[in-house]
A = this chain, B = another copy of it.
């Protein structure tokens, strides 16, 4: 069955159409283009084309100046607009908002790697035409974006006027009232060159403050005969390609518009490279389509997760995986933004969720992308060191809470910069990468240094008190409580970070490069011993009376927020209550202590975890899209299968169903990664540990089965779960031992298959 997602474009209202701009965006990790309408809209659309990591620095004035507060931020720029194509049939302009739209449908084909919009339209004058728009962001040639447009007159012959735009000076979308979007619609681009190379138009623009250049090259292939011409508007720094051609009833006219985008971050000569990229593909759309098909076939072959017995879940899961594939940077200049390359929510910033919610997906399905994401973090390590100095630390690296090129872009530090756990999260991903790949070269060159510098941060942040190592005045993942002492998750994260920094440094001692490495980073055995002591002495709050882990030292002293009596319209709470009010209650935006149980298995006994889980469940609003997936996984692990399924259901279709009411601003990449984790790390019980790989699956009641493929330490596997059996197959690679349902199984040759019976119902909870 083809992997496909399809929707009607009806109703033609702003809410629906702007949501579709996100859902049907095209991206390939390098560039992303919103699924806006070629012909334009009659509402304020977020008409964006983005390049991963392409940003300017914009002012972020503080209402009150305090020492060390950041007053500038990086913002992903809308980099160009080459999407616009206006069509005129016998003088009547095509628009969804005039005449009559008889039929309209949008499709994302996840095998072909294209989106399609199929419209049957009757003009105000009664002319019926069918229009098919296809768009592709090429995975094989990441600088290339292609639009196809097929025009078929259904009840007339006449003339078609085409006006196709290439704009260089574009603004970002702005909404002064939404905290999750930029507030100022200032054009941050200035003209930086215009040229024609034959019938290819080239426009370059430069950012105001970072001085980065973006270049677009555009060419058109029209499969029809007609007058064509380019004009250039110097004032608007825009080029327009126009054609005027005859239309015959029933005959399809086809236009192909190629865009190549390049930037000066990755290219010394972006205009030349854009031209070369364009020339390499122009006129070769079939080959480009084939390359796209091949790329995706390889992806699904190694990564597919198929859900049996529930088509909606199956489609949603594939949709999410496809979006993650589209969103991830493939080089050290770009990572995965909170909204991927699909929109401007959170200004294109990269957060901690890349490592904690998406990394597991990439690690298991595309280890090269996982590696690239860590290389990005290695690349901004100097900025993270500088950030630590700004905060007064004498050693270590504090990764910025939100950033593009390394600068801290968080304007309100109590729920931004103070989330020190991001450094531990990145260290955690490095560790997972090591467990998942065994890539010792990476660890020597990059990974160990990240572990060391983040571990140092904890030594400099924490202090000893009463024989325990404590970390004060940080904020955990739950932003409804800020600047707390001994946040359980943060302390657990720091402990893990410290232990793995030392473990890795110790392992590196057998490497002949160790001396130079240690000398460069001034590592001493004394410092490693200090780390071990801090990890061993780490204070992890535990409340004797309740038998649970408090989220922080003072959390349980606060009154419990009355969620039952909070009006529905007051959620999410962060949009309706002053932060200081939220801070005073036991109420959680998202998994915090429960996240620690997921990430640091064995950190508490099952009884404590279960009691804590039930405690936090009652006071968690899941106002963040990062929450229910974690509640699902931990429920899976604690054997609370109904809860696991319940939370999974809430989360899987967050963007498709727009459950957070802001899909228009972009997809929720972390939530998508979280769904994958809920299935793989949750239902399938997949775990990576120093002892190797293990699986402990159960089958959700709503499914008849599920299977997924993954990569572990250069081996490819398929794991299938049905109600009666689970079957692990080694598809490719060296012999390996895997623990399934608590028992070790040996795989010697590709094709080796282990079938383990499922034990039916063993639900411990409601």
Where the two chains meet, the residues of A that have a C-beta atom closer than 8 Å to any C-beta of B are 60-71, 178-179, 183, 390-393, 410-418, 461, 463, 465-466, 470, 472-473, 482-483, 485, 553-554, 557-559, 574-581, 583-584
**What number of copies of this chain does the assembly contain?**
2
Closest to A466 in B: B557
Closest to A576 in B: B67
A63 near B60 (CB under 8 angstroms)?
A: yes
B179 near A580 (CB under 8 angstroms)?
A: no
**The residue from B60, B68, B482, B557 contacting A483, defined by CB atoms under 8 A apart:** B482
B463 near A580 (CB under 8 angstroms)?
A: no
Kindly state the separation between the CA atoms of A183 and B64 in the bound complex, as whole angstroms. Answer: 10
**The residue from B68, B391, B416, B483 contacting A64, defined by CB atoms under 8 A apart:** B416
Min CB gap A414→B, angstroms? 6
With a cutoff of 8 Å between Cβ atoms, the chain B residues found around residue A577 in the complex are: 67-68, 392
B392 near A578 (CB under 8 angstroms)?
A: yes
For the complex with contacts A68-B581, A466-B557, 10 further pairs of A-B residues with Cβ separation under 8 Å are: A63-B70, A67-B574, A67-B578, A68-B578, A391-B578, A391-B580, A392-B580, A465-B559, A483-B483, A553-B554
Smallest CB-CB A-B distances: 9 pairs: A63-B411, A392-B581, A64-B411, A68-B578, A65-B179, A64-B412, A463-B559, A473-B583, A60-B63
A579 near B411 (CB under 8 angstroms)?
A: no
A584 near B63 (CB under 8 angstroms)?
A: no
Q: A64 and B179 in contact (CB under 8 A), knowing A472-B558, A559-B463? A: yes
Q: Could you jot down 21 A-B contacts, CB within 8 Å?
A: A61-B61, A61-B63, A63-B69, A64-B411, A65-B179, A66-B574, A66-B578, A66-B579, A67-B575, A67-B576, A67-B579, A68-B577, A391-B581, A413-B579, A418-B580, A461-B584, A463-B584, A470-B557, A472-B557, A482-B483, A483-B583
A179 near B66 (CB under 8 angstroms)?
A: yes
Kindly state the separation between the CA atoms of A416 and B579 in the bound complex, as whole angstroms. Answer: 13
With a cutoff of 8 Å between Cβ atoms, the chain B residues found around residue A574 in the complex are: 66-67
Closest to A184 in B: B61
Kindly state the separation between the CA atoms of A63 and B412 in the bound complex, as whole angstroms. Answer: 7
Kindly state the separation between the CA atoms of A70 and B580 in the bound complex, as whole angstroms. Answer: 13
Kindly state the separation between the CA atoms of A410 and B62 in the bound complex, as whole angstroms. Answer: 12
With a cutoff of 8 Å between Cβ atoms, the chain B residues found around residue A66 in the complex are: 179, 412, 415, 574, 578-579
Closest to A556 in B: B465
Min CB gap A566→B, angstroms? 12
With a cutoff of 8 Å between Cβ atoms, the chain B residues found around residue A61 in the complex are: 61, 63, 183
Q: A584 and B65 in contact (CB under 8 A), knowing A463-B558, A554-B553? A: no
Kindly state the separation between the CA atoms of A411 and B63 in the bound complex, as whole angstroms. Answer: 5
A390 near B578 (CB under 8 angstroms)?
A: yes
With a cutoff of 8 Å between Cβ atoms, the chain B residues found around residue A482 in the complex are: 483
Min CB gap A724→B, angstroms? 51
Min CB gap A7→B, angstroms? 32
Min CB gap A128→B, angstroms? 48
Min CB gap A65→B, angstroms? 4
A62 near B65 (CB under 8 angstroms)?
A: no
With a cutoff of 8 Å between Cβ atoms, the chain B residues found around residue A559 in the complex are: 463, 465
Kindly state the separation between the CA atoms of A472 and B179 in the bound complex, as whole angstroms. Answer: 26
Min CB gap A394→B, angstroms? 11
Kindly state the separation between the CA atoms of A178 and B67 in the bound complex, as whole angstroms. Answer: 10
Kindly state the separation between the CA atoms of A67 and B575 in the bound complex, as whole angstroms. Answer: 5
Kindly state the separation between the CA atoms of A583 and B472 in the bound complex, as whole angstroms. Answer: 9
Q: A485 and B557 in contact (CB under 8 A), knowing A64-B179, A67-B577, A179-B64? A: yes
A584 near B412 (CB under 8 angstroms)?
A: no
With a cutoff of 8 Å between Cβ atoms, the chain B residues found around residue A412 in the complex are: 62-64, 66
